[in-house]
A = this chain, B = another copy of it.
Amino acid sequence: MWMMVGGLVVSSFYAKAQLPTNDSLAIKALANSILADDAIMQNLYYLTKKIGGRLAGSPQMFAAEKWGLAELEKLKPSKVFTQSCLVPRWVRGKGDTAFINYALPNSKKLVSKSLAILALGNSKGTTKPVQAPVVVIKSFTELEERKAEVKGKIVLFNAAFDATTVQPFREYGKNGVYRTTGASRAAKYGAVGVLVRSMSGGTDNLPHTGNMTYNDSFPKIPAAAVGLHDANFIASKAASNASITLHLHGTNLPDTTGNNIIAEITGSEFPNEVITAGGHLDSWDVCEGAHDDGAGVVQTIAILRAFKQLGFAPKHTIRFVLFANEENGTRGAKAYATSFENSNSKPIFALESDAGGFTPRGFGFTVTDAVWEKIQAWRTLLEPYLGDKFVRGGGGADIAPLNRNFQTPIAGLQPDGQRYFDHHHAISDTFEQVNKRELQLGAVNMAALLYLVDKYKL
């Protein structure tokens, strides 16, 4: 029934079945297709175990692009294409170390203890080990109050996640600024290095890396994340003249070319009105990037697979995008948004999965009041699939430019967030932490939302 509407015959040659016209039944058909689809875990296994960490510009990034292109082509959408963009090329280097040097209790004997650290992405290396007394700071307010103490020191930003906050993403939102800007804020007052308490409320001592940027007005000092137990240990020794020895090896190579990998089902009625669904293909170098964001990538592919299996021919064009370089530049996001400038295509909705492959709770929407009112009626359709909790605010780093530049309504899948920061940007973000059914249910809710947006528009 879709194929003749609007006079365009697109994708219909592949139609093996038709979705029921009843929304509830159509969504059930999508759910059945996705929940029976073991390929989603095979995809995730390949991306995480065979390719692994795939930071922008790395050989693994290129392998992931090639793999993504091939996987999308297998599904025979209307077309598959790439969008190139320059991406940064930061390399961690080998042999990063940090030690705390402190006096044993009731002794003047100094001892050193190795610290669990990971250099932050974009951090400069040190030509030789930097040793300096440590100052422990809990907030930028405290930094301003104690700025006179910071000169020549290594600062530990030690802001902890508040365990009584139910949604850990809020703590990440609050504390992330110490990771992204702490180094230059401390360098302004003469600090020679920075450690940042890992962005996690977990129970272990794994360090969690992530991006940082320098303010060019101040010296570019080395910066690393430190595990939670070690951050506590440093804090316990700070009053007794402890020092830190920090030796990092990060370096920035020239930008290189990365690619957004895109599959499209061209719309049967409104081919120039584009709905976007995606996740990001890159990850940090030190982990498998299973939840961040292998999950979003394989969910995106699974939705396309289900749409094709069910012969769904949308009225609007739907693009399935594996974004480049979310972690340290969002250059893929910018290139994607830019592609709509001076184009006769218009982005009418975008949906991202970049909050982990955990059991779905719902979606966060950045939309107008009118759209917000309209979508409330869809909650009962998603309730059987556990994705009916709608909140205002949300989207994803890769689709945010569409909202900023074109006022496109955007949404982000919101899985349960309790486990996410146990693994985020740490070596424990592995395939084993992903549950097949939770991952599939996220894709089910995304597929349902895309179906509804296509059918009813926003």
Give the interface size class of chain A: 20 to 34
Q: Which residues of B contact A422 (CB under 8 A)?
A: 435
Q: Is the CB of B418 within 8 A of A163?
A: no
How far is B382's CA from A166's CA once the two chains are assembled, in angstroms?
Answer: 12
Q: Which residues of B contact A418 (CB under 8 A)?
A: 359, 435, 437-438, 441
Q: Which residue of B lies closest to A34 (CB)?
A: B164
Q: Is the CB of A436 within 8 A of B359?
A: no
How far is B130's CA from A164's CA once the two chains are assembled, in angstroms?
Answer: 57
Q: Is the CB of A416 within 8 A of B359?
A: yes
Q: Is the CB of A35 within 8 A of B164?
A: yes
Number of this chain's copies in the complex: 2
A253 at the interface (CB under 8 A from B): no
A168 at the interface (CB under 8 A from B): yes
Tell me the minimal C-beta distance from A172 to chain B in angstroms: 14
Q: Is the CB of A36 within 8 A of B163?
A: yes
Q: Which residues of B contact A437 (CB under 8 A)?
A: 163, 168, 201, 418-419
How far is B36's CA from A422's CA once the two chains are assembled, in angstroms?
Answer: 17
Q: Which residue of B lies closest to A422 (CB)?
A: B435
Tell me the minimal C-beta distance from A414 to chain B in angstroms: 11
A458 at the interface (CB under 8 A from B): no
Q: Which residues of B contact A435 (CB under 8 A)?
A: 418-419, 422
How far is B418's CA from A32's CA once the two chains are assembled, in angstroms?
Answer: 16
Tell me the minimal C-beta distance from A391 to chain B in angstroms: 11
Q: Is the CB of B384 within 8 A of A166?
A: yes
A290 at the interface (CB under 8 A from B): no
Q: A203-B41, A203-B436, A418-B435 are in contact. Are A164 and B32 (CB under 8 A)?
A: yes
Listed from nearest, the 9 A-B pairs whose CB atoms lie closest are A418-B437, A32-B164, A359-B416, A35-B164, A418-B438, A35-B163, A359-B418, A419-B435, A36-B163
Which residues in A have some Cβ–Cβ distance to B below 8 Å? 31-32, 35-36, 41, 163-164, 166, 168, 201, 203, 359, 361, 384-386, 416, 418-419, 422, 435-438, 441
19 contacts between A and B (CB under 8 A): A31-B164, A31-B166, A32-B164, A35-B166, A36-B163, A41-B203, A166-B385, A201-B437, A203-B436, A359-B416, A359-B418, A361-B386, A386-B416, A416-B416, A416-B438, A418-B435, A418-B441, A419-B437, A419-B438
